[in-house]
Structure 1
Amino acid sequence: MRDSAVTLSETQGRIITSVGGLYTVETSCGMCTCKARGVFRKRGILPYVGDFVQLSEDGVICEILPRKNSILRPPVANLDQILFVTSSCRPDPNLLLLDSFLAVAIYQNIQPVLVLTKVDLDAAEQVRRLYTSAGIPVYAVDYRNGETVQAVAALLKDKVSMMTGNSGVGKSTLLNAMEPSLQLPVGEISEKLGRGRHTTRQVQLYPCAGGYLADTPGFSTFEAEQYVQMKKEQIADCFPEFQPYLGECRFSDCSHVCEKGCAILEAVQAGKIAKSRHASYCTLYQTAKQRKEWES
């Protein structure tokens, strides 16, 4: 379950749990519990769950190896993918919110995956087509067909993943179906995933379906601040369906919002890019444009 690009020695490992300044690190020799060097705090550096770290001879974290990505809430590094669980109805999908977080994942070099639930109530064919055409992998879960559950479970094998989504979309039901040993109460947040009482200082990676799964916040805690660091010029790169048209506009500094000769706007008008996706892009672009430089 380690990153194939990272070769760890006996004095290196991955942080699996963080609670109250203590870290559980998985090494080639097993698990060890340790603290981090005090110099990290002085420098404002916080080890994240998922970090690959170097351990000193006395079992203290002395170095954090380079991260390929990280998110703020929960503080997790080196994610391979984020599964965005969205119900086809009850509640209906919030496309702007979903598009915002898909963009965040792509910006952070994390593979986004859309998992649709409650398709027995609404097949959500329009949503499936919308995101499939946008280049986002889409998996529909129908509990009457166990293969649809297994297809999602297979995504977790040998990867570090996070699953998130609005409350009520069926995350606990899906997790129970993929990993029955979790026995999560449906409709509740379970302490087994680190979000119960007295666990606000704990972040953990849990074995699940042959991989690791980070504790699972809802969209309300997967904050919009994740894309604060995105400049307005970077947002178009976070919409995969824009890629064939970037560089084809009349003006090199085209914002893709309202300019004449914009290849992306022409693609929207031709039905090659969904209007809702472009509307979400425009909202994110305007938000970034209004943000002061010092806020980034």
Structure 2
Amino acid sequence: MKMMVQGLILQGIGGFYSVETADRIYECRARGIFRKNGITPLAGDYVTISAEPDGTGAVEEIQPRRNFLLRPPVANLDQLVIVVSACDPSPNLLNTDREIAAAVDKGIEPVLVFSKTDLMPVEPLEKIYSAAGFRSFSVSCETGEGVERVERILPGKTTAFTGNSGVGKSTLLNSMFHDLNLQTGEISRKLGRGRHTTRKVQLLKLEDGGYVADTPGFSSITLEKSDRISKENLPFCFPEFAPYLNQCRFSSCSHTCEKGCAVLQATRDGKISKTRHESYVAMYQEMDGIREWDKK
């Protein structure tokens, strides 16, 4: 007999969705109405399913999302851990600030992890981002230093990790997650898929509660055209600007070059990091080159 049950989508592969409920994991299809309405269920979605005794079911309803990303496709993240290497490759602060801004715009907390600290000190980077109000951690997977501190922020949260190729993201994940409950991987194998599906997100359940989004094939988050940060919202994606935004001489201030700009003055006074403001200006100028119809 069918039952209506609440659950969490752990993974979607080829139209099948692994849904974790209070007592088991169901293999579900999504109702055709979702496709008709242009909606794709995502890993991280809280859903209502009609469950069958044999462990199959159908996704009937998707609960409202707090946030979501389309590349990688995952919903309802609490944290985005951005891994930045101290060297080899050298830190690209513009890319880092893009990812931070994207997370802030989506209502996801960005957390910085500076890797390879056994090769080069990262105090200057820590200073920049702690002054901007973000949590940061320094780790060396070679020595194990700092890895446990990162692990301690994960329980009770849904977390995704991002970082450009070579920064040590995979090494960090492998250092932390020896005992993950890989139930979703087992279901993938039952379905005859999984190993070669390199761009499908799955949520991996932690023993202490919480989930980590495994995002193979995605080195960094990518905002689709419709998801791009607007010029109006961009200043609010740099939280350290907040005390100064209402102090500018002109209400239409772009905070890039105007006389009487309180953000520029705070940057000159060292209250805002020069590199952070440079990233803001670069992102703002890029937006100037995007026509409104290109965002749709």
TM-score range, shorter chain: 0.7 to 0.9
| CA distance 1:228–1:27, change in 2 (3 Å) | closer
After superposing the two structures, state which structure 1 stretch, 204-213 or 10-19, moved more: 204-213
In the alignment, which of 74, 77, 80 is matched to residue 79 of structure 1?
A: 77
Secondary structure of 1:152's counterpart equals: helix
Partner SS for 1:93: coil
Structure 1 partner of 2:109: 111
Q: Is the 8 A contact 1:153 1:209 kept in 2?
A: no
Aligned mates of 1:227, 1:117 — CA distance in 2: 32
Number of residues paired by the alignment? 277
**Who is 1:266 aligned against?**
265
Compute the RMSD of aligned alpha carbons. 2.3
TM-score w.r.t. the length of structure 1 is 0.87
SS in structure 2 of the partner of residue 222 of structure 1: coil
Contact (CA 8 Å) 2:200, 2:216: kept in 1 or not? no
Identity of aligned residues (%): 51
1:185-234 CA distances to partner (integer Å, 9 max, x unpaired)?
Answer: xxxxxx99xxx852046321112463211123577552254785321011
1:233 alignment partner, SS class: coil
Instruction: State the distance in 1 between where 2:94 and 2:24 align.
Output: 43
Deviates more, 1:240-249 or 1:172-181: 172-181
**Secondary structure at 1:279's aligned position in 2?**
helix
- Which residue matches 1:39? 33
The one-character-per-residue Cα deviations of 1:54-112 (angstroms, maximum 9, x if unpaired) are 11366311111000000111210000101111110111100001100100000000000
Partner of 1:188: none
3-state secondary structure, aligned to 2:249: coil
Matched residue, 1:89: 87
1:216-260 residue CA offsets vs partner (Å, 9 max, x unmatched): 357755225478532101100000110111111111111101111
How is 1:247-266 mapped onto 2 (pairs within 5 angstroms)?
Answer: 247-266=246-265
1:203 pairs, out of 201, 204, 215, with 201
| 8 Å Cα contact 2:4-2:48 kept in structure 1 | no
**CA 1:26 to 1:209, structure 2 compared with 1: closer, same or farther past 3 Å?**
closer
**Amino acid paired to 2:256:** V
Question: Cα gap change, 1:156/1:167 in structure 2, threshold over 3 Å: closer, same or farther?
Answer: same
- Cα 1:152/1:221, change in 2 over 3 Å: closer
Equivalent residue for 1:123, pick from 100, 118, 121 = 121
SS at match of 2:30: coil
Contact 2:80/2:161 (8 A) holds in 1: yes
1:30 matches 2:28: no
CA contact (8 A) 2:83 2:161 kept: yes
Task: Answer yes or no: is 1:49 the counterpart of 2:43.
Answer: yes
Runs of at least 5 residues in structure 1 that lack an aligned partner in the other structure:
1-8, 183-190
Separation in 1 of the partners of 2:265 and 2:216?
38
What stretches of structure 2 of length at least 5 have no aligned partner? Answer: 181-187
